[in-house]
Amino acid sequence: MAEIAVTAPLPGDALARLDGGHQVRVRASGPALGGRDMVEFVGAADALICLLADRVAAEVFALCPRLKVVANYAVGVNNVDLEAARTSGVWVTNTPDVLTDATADLAWALILAVARRVGEGDGLVRSGGFTGWKPDLLLGTSLQGKTLGIVGMGRIGAAVARRAVGFGMRIAYHGRAPRAVAGVEAEFVPDLDALLARADVLSLHCPLTPQTRRLIDERRLRLLPRGAIVVNTSRGEVVDEEALVRVLESGVLGGAGLDVYEREPEVHHGLLGRMDVVLLPHLGSGTREARAVMAELVVDNVLAVLAGKPPLTPAVKPLVPRS
Ligand code: GLV
Ligand code: GLV
């Protein structure tokens, strides 16, 4: 009988499918796990199901010799030491595809909210400040004909691009290689700086890796056209948050829409008081539908590995899988 350690309850009843034949340990929701606490929590488990804020470091693979799979309840796997997993013989799986539309929708919610001052408008009405229609009340910026710059044309970036067609935006993107997206005319810009110089709206969709950590730093933020909007639904560490605050304060940007933060769940105090930013609590994949299917996929991945088969959506394939 295999043992499965789960760091938090998941929505829906997917976890119940693990019960038959396996011993499942579900931790009550709580602060993210990491360090020695994670080693202790995994213990003699054969499989770990964890959340994106939990940290799975090399010591987990070294000290938990029965562990065969880390199934992350997220598409991003930056919280797992992937190289240590690979060399230790442990599969790491993620939840691609099933959250693509949800996340692309949320990126658009942020683009529209910042461009059309949705948060400010909502606040004005609630505070009793709406005294009647005015020609110049809370004017925003139109998106039609402007350029959407996408960094990372993976599944989510492509889904964001598809939505941009309906809003009449030009689309340019930067990534490792050009990629065709059906029904979308998008220009590949090999040089990130050149993309930034043109992006009226910048939307980030790259994974967090050593190469993308603080990719969007102060120098790059200052390349954006005047009035540009920065939207981040990827990982907070892709942007130098301190620099973003400075550049916003200097008044050259049109605003920012953020779903993720550098020191999540902590949010830079310089962002909290600003009316030109819209701040969400990491809701990218947060639809009931997406979160339920993510749970099913996590469970399918674990069951596959425990049955001696490759998982459905591996993020890391081990050198020699542990048996
Ligand atoms: C959410 O941020 C995810 O990576 O799934
Ligand atoms: C993640 O699913 C991506 O490829 O964008």
pLDDT, residue 202, reads: 99
* Same domain for 61 and 41: yes
CATH number of the structural domain spanning residue 249: 3.40.50.720
* Same domain for 113 and 93: no
Ligand 1 contact via 74 beta carbon (within 6 Å) = yes
Total count of domains within the chain: 2
* Same domain for 221 and 121: yes
For residue 84, being part of any structural domain is answered with yes
Q: Could you identify the atom of ligand 1 that is nearest to the CA of residue 73?
A: 5
- Distance from the CA of 85 to the center of ligand 1, in angstroms? 19
**Residues of the chain where predicted confidence (pLDDT) is lower than 70:** none
* Same domain for 70 and 127: no
Helix axes 100-115, 118-126, angle to 10 degrees: 70
pLDDT, residue 96, reads: 98
Active site members: 235, 264, 282
pTM above 0.85, yes or no: yes
For residue 151, being part of any structural domain is answered with yes
* Same domain for 65 and 116: no
Q: Could you identify the atom of ligand 2 that is nearest to the CA of residue 158?
A: 5
* Same domain for 108 and 93: no
- Interval 296-313: pLDDT, tens: 999 999 999 999 999 999
Ligand with smallest separation from the Cα of 161: 2
Q: Return d(Cα 233, Cα 203) in angstroms, integer.
A: 8
- Distance from the CA of 127 to the center of ligand 2, in angstroms? 39
* Same domain for 28 and 146: no
Q: Which domain holds residue 235?
A: 100-279
Ligand with smallest separation from the Cα of 51: 1
Q: Could you identify the atom of ligand 1 that is nearest to the CA of residue 77?
A: 4
* Same domain for 266 and 226: yes
- Interval 247-277: pLDDT, tens: 999 999 999 999 999 999 999 999 999 999 9
For residue 321, being part of any structural domain is answered with no
CB-count burial class (<10 Å; 0-12, 13-18, 19+) for 92: buried
* Same domain for 172 and 271: yes
pLDDT, residue 21, reads: 86
Ligand 1 contact via 156 beta carbon (within 6 Å) = no
Q: Return d(Cα 249, Cα 322) in angstroms, integer.
A: 52
